[in-house]
Copies of this chain bind each other. A is one copy, B any other.
Amino acid sequence: MESRRSVFFVSDGTGITVEILGNSLLTQFEGTLFRRITLPFIHNRKALQHAIDQINRAVKEEQQKPIVFLSIINDEMNRELCEKTHALTLDFFQAFISPLEQELGVKSTHAAGRSHSVNYDYFRRMEAINFAQMHDDGAATRDLSHAEVILIGVSRCGKTPTSLYLALQFGIRAANFPLTPDDFADHKLPDSLQSLRHKLFGLTIDPKRLSQIRQERRADSHYASLENCRQEIRNAETLMEQEKIPILDTTAKSIEEIATTIIHEAKLSRHLY
């Protein structure tokens, strides 16, 4: 049996940045099995010693070098971890900070975390999340004109997670509105969307995939049947085309890809970075 290689994400902050970076690199090595361990908030000697011990234990147990994605801004702690562990250490901060300092002509502040923007980020996000929640699944039509984008599509095509992701990751106010058999019978958009056509963005999905998703929710129902899914999607796409609304197929896409494509095509502004 192949042994798993330990991968550590070590950070003086949340570790989310090194996790994302490291995992994006690890996806390039599909055949290899990894055991992932995140060690966040390594910002004092006690936490550092604990991290060093954990990494060295893996060296011993696995008889191979663990991989350490590192982001500790304090130079001394950083060096200590590198010296006292027998691992492959990849430190994105060290790799890029000095060319940046040189080009910008200033020294970096060497400050851990990014608490300076907590306040602004928090309010912006909170507002966007509240908005997404209040305008989920067509729940409220009041203030719909304050939306930066309104996602439409049949039930379970990916509208809710996309709206929430747009709010959380980018601070964008995204509403979503279901297209239902009533709308198809009328051959027109719901009344509350008529004047907001320029903000609409359509999501669609492969009928088989939709049926599979709906089965998880309501097994063996008319709602989840392949025939009904086919019919609903055909009607929704026809309506969107007729109304000249952009359509995105979410079938083989991650939520990140769906959200980014919408930002890109609808030319929305990211409010958070």
A contacts, CB < 8 Å to B: 5, 13-17, 19-21, 23-25, 27-32, 36, 38, 40-41, 65, 67, 71, 73, 88, 90, 92-93, 95-97, 99-100, 103-104, 106, 108-111, 113-118, 121-123, 125-127, 129, 133, 136, 160-161, 164-165, 168-169, 213, 216, 252-257, 259-261, 264, 270, 273
Q: How many copies does the complex hold?
A: 2
Is the Cβ of B29 less than 8 Å from the Cβ of A24? no
B92 and A88 contact, CB distance less than 8 A: no
CB closest chain-B residue, reference A87: B103
What's the minimum C-beta distance from A266 to chain B, rounded to whole angstroms? Answer: 13
Q: Which of B31, B123, B213 contacts A106 (CB 8 A)?
A: B31
- Tell me, in angstroms, the Cα distance from A24 to B165 when the chains sit together: 20
Query: Are B118 and A252 closer than 8 Å at their CB atoms?
Result: yes
CB within 8 A of A122: which of B27, B103, B254? B254
Given contacts A14-B257, A15-B260, A40-B260, 16 further A-B contacts (CB under 8 A): A16-B256, A17-B20, A20-B20, A21-B21, A23-B273, A25-B100, A27-B111, A29-B100, A38-B270, A90-B99, A95-B95, A113-B257, A118-B254, A122-B255, A129-B160, A168-B255
What is the bound-complex CA distance between A110 and B23, given in angstroms?
14
Whether A109 lies near B28 (C-beta < 8 A) is: yes
* A129 to chain B: closest residue by CB: B161
Q: Nearest chain B CB to A144's CB is how many angstroms away?
A: 19
- A253: which B residues are within 8 A, CB to CB? 115, 118
Contacts of A136 in B (CB 8 A): 133
A254 in contact with B40 (CB, 8 Å) = no
Bound CA–CA A127/B20 (angstroms): 21
Q: Which of B97, B109, B133, B261 contacts A30 (CB 8 A)?
A: B109
**Nearest chain B CB to A51 CB, angstrom units:** 13
Cα–Cα, bound, A273→B257 (Å): 15
Residues of B with C-beta under 8 A to A21: 17, 20-21, 92
- B255–A114 CB distance below 8 A: no
Enumerate chain B residues within 8 angstroms of A93, measured Cβ to Cβ: 25
Cα distance, A65 to B103, chains bound together (Å): 8
